[in-house]
Amino acid sequence: METKTFKTIFSLREEAGKRIGIERIEIPKIQRDFAYGRTDAINTRKRENFLKSLLYAVSGNPITLDFVYGDIKDNKFTPLDGQQRLTTLFLLYWFASKLDGVIDNECAFLRKFSYETRTSARKFCEAITTKPFEIDSRMLLSEQIKDKNWFPLEWQHDATISSMLVMLDAIQSKFSKVDHLLTKLENISFYFLEIEDMGLTDELYIKMNSRGKPLTQFEHFKAEFEKQLKQADADLAKRLGSKIDKEWTDLLWQYHNSGLGNDNDDTTDDEFLRYFIFICNIICYNNGGSPKTSDEFELIREYFTVNVDDDEQIDRSRKKVVENAITLEKFFDCWLDENKRSIPIQNFFEMFASKEHAIGKIKTNYNVNLFEDCLRNYADIIGKKRRKFTLNQIILLYAFVLYRQNMSYVSEDDFRRRLRILNNLILNSPDQISDSEERQGGNRLPAILRQTDSIILHGIIADSETIGINFNPTQLEEEKTKLEWTKANPGKVEHLFALEDHELLYGQISIVGLEHYEHFEKFKALFECNWDLVDCALLITGDYKQRERNGWRYQLGSSMNDGFAWKMLFHRSDGFQGFEKTKTVLNNLLKQIPTVTDDTLKQIIDHYLNQCEKNNTYPWTYYYTKYKVFRADRYGKYWWDNFEESPYVFTTLHTAKNPSPNSYNPFLKALSDNVWREWYGNYIELGNDRLLKESQSSYQIVTNDEEEKVLDEILILQGLDGIDKENRIEKMKGIFESLK
C-alpha cells in the first residue's frame, strides 16, 4: 500500500505525454466544514489526541495515519475521506514553515491546498500561504492573524476558518518548541489510495455519508491498539482484537447502559476503557511508576508501542509490550466463566465482602462489587483531588484479580483470611497509601502491590527491607501477631474478627489487645452504651487522655456520633502520646464491670461524684464528669498550656485542630453562655471595662486592657496537693450576679 506525506502527495510525472499525479487538493463544497477545530468536548478531545500523536511522531517515532482516498481528475485530488487529517497537516506544515523561517518558495506546495466549501474559506487558505507573516511568540496565532489588514471581520463567522484558527492555536501550543519542525514533519505519513476518474458527484458524497456513522472514539482506540500491538506480535494483536469484539464485550455487556457513568447507548466502550486504564495503572505501579495520564491513546503509546531504534532495545521493548498485553489479557480473562468458579461476578464478590460484619467476609464501605465500581468510576482517577475510585479500592480490586487468576493455587479459605489481613492494612494506612512522587515518602503503591502479592499468593507478610516501605508498620506488626494467634487459637478466631470489624476499630485491635480476649465482647457492649457515659466512666477509672506529640492539644472521647474522637484514641499513632495509658484504663474499666450497660456506667459515675462531694475533694475530672458543658459534643479536643501545673485551666475546643471563636473555658461557660469570643472564650465581660477570668486557684476580675490589672480575686480553697476542697463552680454561681 502506497504511503505519502503531505508534501509528497503533490507529485506530477510525465507518462506518454500525459501529466500523472496530483497538482492540487480541493475540499469540495459538499464536504462538511473543518471539524477538528470545533470547541465542543468531543472535537476538543479528538484534536488533542491527534496532535499528541503528531508530536510523538516528530519526536522521533514515525507514524502512518489511516487511509486518505478520493477522486483524481485533471490532476486535482478531491478527498472522499481524510479531510480532517489533510487540513490539520496543511496548517501544521504552514506553521512549521513560519516557525523555521523558511522562504515561501520552498513551501509553494502549500498554495496547492484549498477549500471550496465557501469562498471565504478558499480565500483564507490563499491569504495565509501568500501573504507575509512572522510568528510573534508572545501572542496567539489566531489573534495575530485576525489583526492582519487582509483578514476581514466577517471571516470570523465562517465555521471552517474559525475552526482553523482554533487548530492553529493548539498547534502553536504543542509544537512551538520543536527545532527544525518542517524537516521532522516527514515522519508523518498516511496510506493513500488513488481512485482515478471515479467521478465523485454530490449524489455519491451524500450516499456514502448516509451509509454509516463516523468512527467512534473507541473504534479509533481499538484500531490504534491493534496497529501498535502488531509491531510486537501480530498473532497476539489478532487474538486480543477478537476478544475485545467478542468475549470481553460479552463480559461487560451486563454493565452497559446501566447507570454507569454517562452511558446512554448500547455499547460497552466506556466500561472497557475504564478497566483498561485500571490495568495500565497497575502495570505502571508494578514498574515502579506513578500514573500521569488517563488518556487511552497516551497509554497505548506508553505500554503497547515498540518505540526505540536500537536493535537490542527494540527486542527488549517488543518483549515488554507483549508482557503488558498478556497482563491485559489475564486481567480480563480472569472474569470469564471458563475459570474454575462460574458464578455471577456480583455473587463472587458477595462471597467475600459485606457492608456489615459477616462470618468469612471483610466489612467494606465501598460497593461490594469492586469490578462494577471500577467500570463506573475509574476514568476519573487522574487529575482529581477527590478520586471516585480510591487507591484503597485499587489495591482491593487488584487482590481479587490475583485470586481469580490463581484459584487453582490459592484456596478459598486461604483467600478469605489473607483478604482480611490486606483489608486491615489498607484501612489503617491512610498516611502510607499514596502514589504521589511529591508526597513525603514518595510513591508507595509499587511496594504496596508487592506486599499484596506476598499476602494473597503466599500468605506471608513480607518485611519492608525486602519489598520496600509499604503499609503502616504498626499495623503490619499487629497483623503478623494476629496471624500467629489465630493459628494457635482457632476456636477464638471469629470473636477476633468481630472485634476487628467494630466501627471504631476497623482492623486495629491493639487498644484491647490479644491478651485480653475476655474483653472482646465487653468492648462491643461498652460502645453500645451511651458514649457520653462511656467517656465519663473511663475518665473516672483513670486519666485516659492522649496528648498530641509536640503539640498542645489533648484528645478525650466524645458523644459525637461519627466516632472521630474514639477512633483517634483507639488507633496507635506516632502523632499521639499516651496510647498505652488509654489501653490500660479501658481494660481496667472492662475488668471491673461484670455486665456493661448504661445503668452500670451510671452507677460508677454517681458513686464517684458522691465520694468527691462527701470528701470535699474536687479534681478537674469531677467537674468534667459533673457538668455537661465540659464535654462538648464535638471532636473531644482540649487545650492545656501546662496540664501538670495547672490542670484546672484549659479550653474546650470546637474544631479538630485549632482554637476558634467557639472555643471556651468550661469553668466560665458553666457560669454564663456569654463568654468573650475574641479570646477563645477565656473571659466573661462584666461591664465597666472589666473581665472575669479563671486560674488554677482563683477567679480574677481584671481590667479590659493589655495590662490586665487585677482588680479583685475570688480564691478557691485547695489542699496541699493543689486539688480543690470546694466546688468552684457552685461557689462562683452564688456570687456571679453580684459581679456584673
At 574 the pLDDT is: 86
Which long-range contacts does 336-341 make (Cβ < 8 Å, 24+ apart)?
336/247, 336/251, 339/404, 339/407, 340/407, 340/408, 341/407
33-47, 397-411, 591-605, 718-732: segment of lowest average pLDDT: 33-47
Task: List, for residues 627-682, the tens digit of each pLDDT value.
Answer: 999 998 889 999 999 999 999 999 999 988 888 889 999 999 999 988 888 788 89
Distance CA 119, CA 78 (A): 17
Q: For residue 490, report the phi and psi dihedrals to the nearest 5 degrees.
A: -60, -30
At 294 the pLDDT is: 83
Are the beta carbons of 292 and 279 closer than 8 angstroms?
Answer: no
pLDDT of 197 higher than 70:
no
Task: List, for residues 37-62, the tens digit of each pLDDT value.
Answer: 888 877 887 888 889 889 988 888 88
pLDDT of 253 higher than 80:
yes
What is the average pLDDT across 237-243?
Answer: 93
pLDDT of 262 higher than 60:
no
pLDDT band (50, 70, 90) for residue 15: low
What is the average pLDDT across 260-287?
Answer: 82
Are the beta carbons of 336 and 251 closer than 8 angstroms?
Answer: yes
Distance of CA 521 to the CA centre of its chain: 37
At 200 the pLDDT is: 43
Residue type present at position 595: T
Query: What is the percentage of the chain residues whose pLDDT exceeds 90?
Result: 58
pLDDT of 210 higher than 50:
no
- In terms of residues, how long is the chain? 740
Cβ burial 634-663 (10 Å sphere, 16+ → b, else e):
bbbbbbbeebeeebbbbbbbbeeeebeeeb
3-state secondary structure of 260: coil
Q: How many CB atoms lie within 10 A of CB 511?
A: 21
Q: What is the dihedral of CA 476, 482, 487, 488, to 10 degrees?
A: 140
Task: Taking the CA atoms of 244, 245, 247 and 249 in sequence, report the sign of the dihedral they define.
Answer: positive
pLDDT of 207 higher than 50:
no
Task: List, for residues 297-308, the tens digit of each pLDDT value.
Answer: 889 989 999 876
End-to-end CA distance of the chain: 99
Scanning the structure block, which residue is given the C-alpha cell 484503597? Answer: 392
Residues 6 or more apart whose Cβ sits within 8 Å of residue 407: 339, 340, 341
Task: List, for residues 453-511, the tens digit of each pLDDT value.
Answer: 999 999 999 999 899 989 999 999 999 999 999 999 999 999 999 999 999 999 999 99
Distance CA 59, CA 187 (A): 9
Q: Looking at per-residue confidence, does 343 or 557 come out higher?
A: 557
Q: How many CB atoms lie within 10 A of CB 188?
A: 23
Alpha helices in 355-429 (DSSP H): 370-377, 391-405, 412-427
What is the average pLDDT across 595-602?
Answer: 96
pLDDT band (50, 70, 90) for residue 423: very high
What is the average pLDDT across 544-554?
Answer: 89
At 103 the pLDDT is: 74
Q: How many CB atoms lie within 10 A of CB 202?
A: 10
pLDDT band (50, 70, 90) for residue 206: very low
Q: For residue 79, report the phi and psi dihedrals to the nearest 5 degrees.
A: -70, 135
Query: Which is nearest to 57 in space by CA: 228, 216, 193?
Result: 228
Q: For residue 187, report the phi and psi dihedrals to the nearest 5 degrees.
A: -75, -10
Q: How many CB atoms lie within 10 A of CB 472?
A: 24
Scanning the structure block, which residue is given the C-alpha cell 473571659? Answer: 683
The mean predicted confidence, pLDDT, of the chain is 88
Query: Which is nearest to 566 in space by CA: 498, 487, 508?
Result: 508
Distance CA 458, CA 460 (A): 5
Task: List, for residues 312-358, the tens digit of each pLDDT value.
Answer: 788 889 999 999 999 999 999 999 975 445 678 999 999 999 999 99
At 216 the pLDDT is: 64
pLDDT of 514 higher than 90:
yes
pLDDT band (50, 70, 90) for residue 209: very low
pLDDT of 20 higher than 80:
no
pLDDT band (50, 70, 90) for residue 203: very low
Q: Looking at per-residue confidence, does 199 or 524 come out higher?
A: 524
Per-residue cell: 665? 473555658
Are the beta carbons of 25 and 114 closer than 8 angstroms?
Answer: yes
Task: List, for residues 112-158, the tens digit of each pLDDT value.
Answer: 998 876 788 889 999 999 998 888 888 999 999 999 999 998 898 88
DSSP letters for 494-559: HHHHHHHTSTTTTT--TTT-GGGGGGHHHHHHHTTS-HHHHHHHHHHH----EEETTSSEEE----
By CB atoms closer than 10 A (0-12, 13-18, 19+), residue 678 is exposed
Distance CA 209, CA 325 (A): 35
pLDDT of 260 higher than 50:
no
At 263 the pLDDT is: 44
Residue type present at position 529: C
Report for 309-318, 376-385, 541-550, 610-619: range of highest mean pLDDT: 610-619
Distance CA 268, CA 203 (A): 35
β-pairing, 76-81 with 24-27? parallel
